[in-house]
Structure 1
């Protein structure tokens, strides 16, 4: 019996149709059925991920077609994010190992780091210590190490499983000597020190949004997504304590997804700076150390009902 497909073009057309018919959700690095089908096909066939056109009409061997069909079917039937199928995620041109023990890397902070957090960090070369909270796969810690070349990076996560993956990624980038991992609850496991920069992409999805998440997102650890009733449970704690850990001219950078209204309801009295990203100005905020609550300075302590 003749196989129904023979070329990459055939498989690409089928993949796009199958993903669209299945009503898949995207957002784990790729945003549409065409790009995701192309990525899965190229990865499965061990072809360059940025070179599709020369291979579109290449005739495939039976076992190659079978391998691609299995991947396409798994994505559609199990609604498994593509990153978990391939065990890799790409963010701002960098590859990271991932599996279901850790959230799929996706963060606007990565691009902000590549832009040196300008103009809020005066001289990236003079940054000596950076902290990432809720590091997950370690992706932002790695990008921070590349941005601040003279800095040591501390990265924290409460998940032992996530830290195993972060350790693997840090090793892949040869950063074991500069990026130190800590297991624990936010600032709790850290030694007493000060940081010029703290970055975090914490759990921030509010309860209503968690209940409505597409199935793809339910493959990710709930611990890395759920932020409580208003999404601010973890963010409150991060902001409340950050002043103790920043240098006088330090900055805190926090990614909060679609939760700007909830952020402003809680922290509207602080000097929030909303940073521009490819998705607009509502996803990442920055607070300078002087505008943060600090247990040592009564004039900056927020009212308990707010924090």
Structure 2
């Protein structure tokens, strides 16, 4: 930093430059160095993440600079996502506890929770939902917070993730409407039927795992890797969904880089609706109840369905 008293803006711009020079990857809450530096600074200085622009001109005390520099060094040296260093992350305007036991919240599905699911599903039709692969519980909690008439079952197979999700449910005071359930996909759903099933399962092809940026290697492999084409879990999920959707229900599922493989897999039976997002993100498809039924019948009859 300069010899004169630096402002917050001075520190943020220099920190962003250092991050870029270090070759950090941004994709766990931000997508560029400047936004990451702002997030780091707001947390270290106990400011809201959307702090007022007037704060940029404030002078920094030496103790504040020391705290900021220490956190920046940890981010650069460890290549750990900033959310893990802070222990919290934001999605859909809500703050969640996170740890390396769960993926860092970042799904574009959050945009749908904020904006609604029409024309496929009206607000009046959305009373019960499932979140498959809930991780930190962020999507389930966001859905319950923004849709107060909706009750949500949040499924995950990882016991550490389930414990963290339960803490987040308590954090947001939703114990009565968000139910955290240990389950391999929808295997523990019983006879439940849902108006909406959200799913963000692992979808990274095995061959892609070793080429991921270092930041991803701090996340649980269980939440990322999904076989040769990235669809091992999605195939199984698609065979389970018809038994758990209401007649007007829809499935919304994120498959990321496995989108092309998913399109090719289902092409003989059904055409997925690929959703677009104003704030970025892709690889999210939608199927209504009838399309889910056709997809499941196709997979069970002739498609490759993993039973692992």
TM-score if structure 2 supplies the norm length?
0.91
Secondary structure of the structure 2 residue equivalent to 1:290? helix
C-alpha distance after superposition, 1:114-159 (max 9, x if no partner): 22211111x3233332111100011111122234432221110001
| Contact map agreement 1:158 1:185 (CA 8 A) in 2 | yes
Larger proportion of helix: 2
Q: Which moved more, 1:43-52 or 1:181-190?
A: 43-52
Alignment match, 2:303: 305
Residue 250 of structure 2 is aligned to residue 251 of structure 1: yes
Whole-angstrom distance in 2 between the partners of 1:64 and 1:132: 40
| Contact map agreement 1:38 1:52 (CA 8 A) in 2 | no
Structure 2: which 5+ residue stretches go unaligned? none
Alignment match, 2:194: 195
Q: Structure 1 residues 279 and 37, CA, compared in 2 at 3 Å: closer, same or farther?
A: closer
Matching of residues 20-99 of structure 1 within 5 Å: 20-51=20-51, 53-99=53-99
Q: Structure 1 residues 48 and 279, CA, compared in 2 at 3 Å: closer, same or farther?
A: closer
TM-score if structure 1 supplies the norm length?
0.91
| Contact map agreement 2:5 2:59 (CA 8 A) in 1 | no
RMSD across aligned positions (CA): 2.2
Q: Structure 1 residues 219 and 27, CA, compared in 2 at 3 Å: closer, same or farther?
A: same
Matching of residues 255-274 of structure 1 within 5 Å: 255-268=254-267, 269-274=269-274
Secondary structure of the structure 2 residue equivalent to 1:293? helix
> How far has the Cα of 1:283 moved from its partner?
1.6
Q: Structure 1 residues 288 and 53, CA, compared in 2 at 3 Å: closer, same or farther?
A: closer
Whole-angstrom distance in 2 between the partners of 1:4 and 1:75: 25
> How far has the Cα of 1:244 moved from its partner?
0.9
Alignment match, 2:285: 285
How many residues end up aligned between the 2 structures? Answer: 303
| Contact map agreement 1:113 1:147 (CA 8 A) in 2 | yes
Whole-angstrom distance in 2 between the partners of 1:89 and 1:210: 23
Secondary structure of the structure 2 residue equivalent to 1:74? helix
Whole-angstrom distance in 2 between the partners of 1:302 and 1:188: 17
Secondary structure of the structure 2 residue equivalent to 1:106? coil
> How far has the Cα of 1:302 moved from its partner?
4.2
C-alpha distance after superposition, 1:4-40 (max 9, x if no partner): 8643233223211210110000001111111111211
Structure 1: which 5+ residue stretches go unaligned? none
Whole-angstrom distance in 1 between the partners of 2:49 and 2:272: 39
